[in-house]
Structure 1
Amino acid sequence: MVFGATELLPGDAVSAVAGPSATEAERAAVRERLGLDRDPVTRYLEWAGGALRGDLGTGYTGGRSVTELIADRLPNSLLLAGLALAVALPASVALGLLAGARAGRRADRAVSTGVLLVAGLPEFVLAALLLWLLAARTGLLPQVSLVPLGGTPLDAPEILVLPVLTLAVSGVAVGTRLVRSASAEVAASPWVEAARLRGITGPRLAARHVLPGALAPAAQALGLMTGALVGGAVVVETVFGYPGIGLELQQAVAHRDIPLVQGIALVLCAVTLATVLLADVAARALDPRRGSPR
């Protein structure tokens, strides 16, 4: 699907490689060198065969190995998603548990309304708002996430604040709704009602009776949220110019660099599937019914 969608876009990589002033003969030579003169099915099958052997090909622009480029940029994106998850995960659990344990009450309505409003904002809009508020207007943070030459993002931690905050806020909006749904279902169960009748309320009720039953479904939901954070990095990295795999993907699409687009899409899918798998394993381990007699 990625290959087909990229193939249908107008233009090709020849313009980016040959330059706007290239003659038709030069453009034809570049097209032949890149293999773009062959039919799409043949090109796709060659790429797929190489991918099965661990070879993701060579990018059209720059002539760099796709595998090497991804290995260089992916750690930056994983760092961004990991820091965002470290902020979003506890906040989502706390807010979702608060709303779910008090379903239908004032706290639930306030939390649900707030996260619904934030969830309705596209990530690029949220990023632009934070950029204007914390960087352009106040000058507290850099507007562009430029990594020091030869260094890593951790060498200049201030460049991480806005991208991480954007991803974390979006993640909290999604994660809170998922945890709230799981918690509300548990809070309406007979054993929680029995605990309320025994006089157990407030944080004690939520921590001892609602949270254990909600952990398993919440883990699966938050696994999907984690995968969404990795995918959301594409937009956030582009807005802030952060040197991660998302920015590379945006540039590859702009240059119609099909091998690079396919390689990055494949890696993002693999990361998402691995995250969902780990979440399923965690949900099974956290399920209080696991191992109980039938």
Structure 2
Amino acid sequence: MRALVFVLRRLLAAAGTLLAVSVVLFAGSEVLPGDAASASLGINATAEQTALVRAELGLDRPLAVRYLEWIGNAVQGDLGVSVLERAPVAEIVAIPLADTALLTLLAALATIVIATALGLAAGLRPGSRIDRLLSGGALVAVSIPQFVIAGLLVLLFSSVLGWLPAVSLVPAGGAPIDRPEILILPVASLTIFAAAWASRLIRAIVIDANTAPNVEAARLAGLPERQVIRRHLIPATIGPAAQAYAWLASALFGGTAVIEQIFNYPGLSETLVNAVRHHDTPVLEGVGLLLAGIIIGSLVIADLIGLLVNPKLRTAA
């Protein structure tokens, strides 16, 4: 019963957070210089023409009224209509969202595999030569900005070796998955930084779990080290690691914008840039709300996973 109350509280907190984000997002997009009417008409439009278009778009109504209408429609799955393309926002962002999700998913999977292996190798032997080597390498990788990592990868694998394309060109009417080679450098750029950061966190989690009473008791009972790790140590790390990876996945999703711009990848960043350039507030607000929902949802899922796998958390809840 207490666990159910905890879940309900987390869901309500997530809904409240998303609502607060929607207010900030809507208000922030509205205070940008100009508006959708002036952007769609151009600089030569008269005041009368601008006023007429503002009335057609409903921009002459009070801000609070427009927000309530927008958030009410968004709850029902209607994110509005693009001022620039005169099409539903949901249709406009569907394909870019899928392309960004593909990039994030591949980077997240690669990060989980690499970070878990490196974190376990370093955490099981703290202070050893392999720990110092892996921790030092991870620190170096974390210290390098992602756009620098992307530039170095392009220089090496595209300009020098010529193995991979420097730009993610998608066939007309196709998708990035149709040309898997264009995904390698963007995914690697995201993974190197993310895996380095996550491996240091997993190392700390493993070191903490390795000193837990049940793990020490298993060793004192004479169980082989492999069984101690598999039966006692790894289960104790699942909850904290799941929370770390969920947070990381949300950060990856929000951090793909720079990488997409560097490689000209057809994701959400291009849609956002066009929306800001043309002051297409329905698209800007819709994409922002989607990203916020995905990030907040992933963090809630992480909390629920931690609740399920950790008896201490269930007792505390």
Q: Please give the TM-score of this superposition, normalised by the length of structure 2.
A: 0.80
Please point out which of 23, 29, 35 is paired with 1:6: 29
The SS at the match of 1:61 is coil
**Alignment pair present for 1:32 and 2:35:** no
Taking the aligned partners of 2:121 and 2:252, their CA distance within structure 1 comes to 23
Residue 20 of structure 1 deviates from its aligned partner by 4.2
- 2:254 counterpart residue number: 231
Taking a change above 3 Å as real, the CA distance of residues 40 and 123 of structure 1, as seen in their structure-2 partners, is farther
Which is worse superposed, 204-213 or 226-235?
204-213
Taking the aligned partners of 1:9 and 1:278, their CA distance within structure 2 comes to 34
Residue 3 of structure 1 deviates from its aligned partner by 1.7
**Alignment pair present for 1:188 and 2:211:** yes
- 1:42 counterpart residue number: 65
Taking the aligned partners of 2:114 and 2:277, their CA distance within structure 1 comes to 36
Please point out which of 285, 293, 299 is paired with 1:276: 299
- 1:255 counterpart residue number: 278
**Alignment pair present for 1:265 and 2:288:** yes
Residue 64 of structure 1 deviates from its aligned partner by 1.6
Residue 38 of structure 1 deviates from its aligned partner by 3.3
- 1:222 counterpart residue number: 245
Taking a change above 3 Å as real, the CA distance of residues 138 and 38 of structure 1, as seen in their structure-2 partners, is farther
Residue identity matched to 1:256: H
Which is worse superposed, 220-229 or 264-273?
264-273
Residue 285 of structure 1 deviates from its aligned partner by 4.2
The SS at the match of 2:147 is helix
Taking a change above 3 Å as real, the CA distance of residues 288 and 39 of structure 1, as seen in their structure-2 partners, is closer
Residue 218 of structure 1 deviates from its aligned partner by 0.8
Residue identity matched to 1:270: G
Taking the aligned partners of 2:44 and 2:185, their CA distance within structure 1 comes to 39
Q: Please give the TM-score of this superposition, normalised by the length of structure 1.
A: 0.85
The SS at the match of 1:260 is helix
**Unaligned ranges ≥5, structure 1:** none
Contact 2:123 2:203 in 1 (8 A): yes
Deviations 1:254-276 (A, max 9, x none): 33222112211221222223323
- 1:174 counterpart residue number: 197
Taking a change above 3 Å as real, the CA distance of residues 12 and 173 of structure 1, as seen in their structure-2 partners, is farther
- Aligned CA RMSD, in angstroms, stands at 2.9
Which is worse superposed, 276-285 or 226-235?
276-285
Taking a change above 3 Å as real, the CA distance of residues 28 and 84 of structure 1, as seen in their structure-2 partners, is same
**Alignment pair present for 1:66 and 2:82:** no
**Which contiguous aligned blocks of 4+ residues in structure 1 show a shift greater than 6 angstroms?**
288-292
Taking a change above 3 Å as real, the CA distance of residues 117 and 3 of structure 1, as seen in their structure-2 partners, is farther
- 2:18 counterpart residue number: none
Taking a change above 3 Å as real, the CA distance of residues 218 and 32 of structure 1, as seen in their structure-2 partners, is same
Taking the aligned partners of 2:314 and 2:87, their CA distance within structure 1 comes to 52
Taking the aligned partners of 2:167 and 2:199, their CA distance within structure 1 comes to 29
**Unaligned ranges ≥5, structure 2:** 1-23
Taking the aligned partners of 1:269 and 1:146, their CA distance within structure 2 comes to 28
Taking the aligned partners of 1:40 and 1:125, their CA distance within structure 2 comes to 41
- 2:126 counterpart residue number: 103
Deviations 1:217-253 (A, max 9, x none): 1111111111112112222222222222233123223
- 1:242 counterpart residue number: 265
The SS at the match of 1:268 is helix
Residue 182 of structure 1 deviates from its aligned partner by 1.0
**Alignment pair present for 1:121 and 2:144:** yes
Taking the aligned partners of 2:148 and 2:50, their CA distance within structure 1 comes to 39
Which is worse superposed, 111-120 or 66-75?
111-120
What is the aligned-residue identity percentage? Answer: 42
Contact 1:98 1:108 in 2 (8 A): yes
**Greater helix share, structure number:** 2
Residue identity matched to 2:179: A
Deviations 1:82-118 (A, max 9, x none): 1112211110111111222222333333322322332
Residue identity matched to 1:116: L
Contact 2:308 2:314 in 1 (8 A): no
- 1:212 counterpart residue number: 235
